């Protein structure tokens, strides 16, 4: 009886972890579409799962630099207000700003990139954050590049986990 319960528990855990894992994309067009939908729906976890390992590593470094900048909340009312805006764009409180996580940083990028607000980080391709037309696609076995009508390049890489978006 204990073996049956243990085995059924293991099966449930395996099924749940598999369901929560990231989807394996077989082509860059599907990754592109999923990334557009993740940005549109403000789903940072989904977008993170679409990123290449190098992109995630580079974003982690940028996030760490920002965390150091946000370690001390300024007492100056104008500076404090700017920090409050950034925190709200990340979906966290001002007090949580010094310890924000990758999900919060990617949400901030989704909120600011592609917008004409003066705070564009230029990390997320405009072709993913705003409506655009893909005018050309170059796909090889291991990488791909989509060129927008404005000439922007959106790059992808084929990994053992499927196609991934390359930001940096």
Map 32-101 to HEC letters. HHHHHHHHHCCCHHHHHHHECHHHHHHHHHHHHHHHHHCCCCCCCHHHHHHHHHHHHHHCCCHHHHHHCC
pLDDT for 22: 67
What angle (nearest 5°) sits at the alpha carbon of residue 137, between those of residues 134 and 141?
Answer: 145
pTM for this prediction: 0.78
- C-alpha 11/C-alpha 168 separation (Å) is 38
Instruction: Write out pLDDT tens, residues 96-129.
Output: 988 899 999 999 888 776 655 444 567 878 777 7
- C-alpha 52/C-alpha 63 separation (Å) is 16
Partner residues linked to 165 by β-bridges:
51, 156
Percent of the chain exceeding pLDDT 70 equals 80
SS3 content of the chain, % helix, strand, coil (to 5): 55, 15, 30
pLDDT for 138: 96
Report residue 14's pLDDT band, with 50, 70 and 90 as the boundaries. very low
Q: Quick check: 12 pLDDT over 80?
A: no
Is the separation of the CB atoms in 165 and 109 below 8 Å?
no
Which residues make Cβ contacts (< 8 Å) with residue 122, sequence separation at least 6? 113
Q: What b/e readout covers 17-47, taking b as 16+ CB neighbours within 10 angstroms?
A: eeeeeeeebeebbebbebbbebbeeebbebb
Q: Mean pLDDT over all residues of the chain?
A: 81
Report residue 141's pLDDT band, with 50, 70 and 90 as the boundaries. confident
Is the separation of the CB atoms in 164 and 56 below 8 Å?
no
Is the separation of the CB atoms in 25 and 34 below 8 Å?
yes
Domain ranges of the chain: 25-166
Query: Within 13 Å, how many C-alpha atoms sit on residue 92's CB side?
Result: 19
Instruction: Write out pLDDT tens, residues 57-85.
Output: 999 999 998 888 888 878 888 888 988 99
The bridge status of strand 143-148 relative to strand 134-139 is antiparallel
pLDDT for 121: 65
pLDDT for 103: 95
Q: Quick check: 11 pLDDT over 80?
A: no
The whole-number average pLDDT for the span 16-28 is 66
């Amino acid at each position: 009886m204990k073996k049956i319960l243990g085995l059924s528990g293991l099966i449930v855990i395996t099924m749940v972890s598999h369901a929560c894992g990231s989807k394996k994309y077989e082509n860059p067009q599907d990754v592109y579409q999923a990334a557009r939908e993740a940005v549109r729906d403000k789903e940072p976890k989904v977008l993170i799962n679409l990123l290449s390992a190098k992109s995630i590593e580079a974003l982690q470094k940028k996030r760490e630099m920002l965390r150091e900048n946000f370690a001390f909340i300024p007492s100056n009312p104008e500076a404090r207000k700017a920090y409050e805006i950034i925190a709200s764009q990340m979906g966290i409180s001002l007090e949580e700003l010094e310890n924000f996580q990758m999900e919060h940083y990617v949400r901030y990028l989704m909120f600011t990139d592609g917008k004409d607000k003066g705070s564009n980080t230029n990390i997320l391709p405009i072709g993913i954050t705003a409506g655009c037309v893909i005018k050309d696609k170059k796909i090889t076995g291991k990488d791909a590049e989509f060129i927008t009508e404005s000439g922007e390049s959106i790059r992808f890489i084929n990994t053992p986990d499927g196609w991934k978006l390359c930001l940096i």
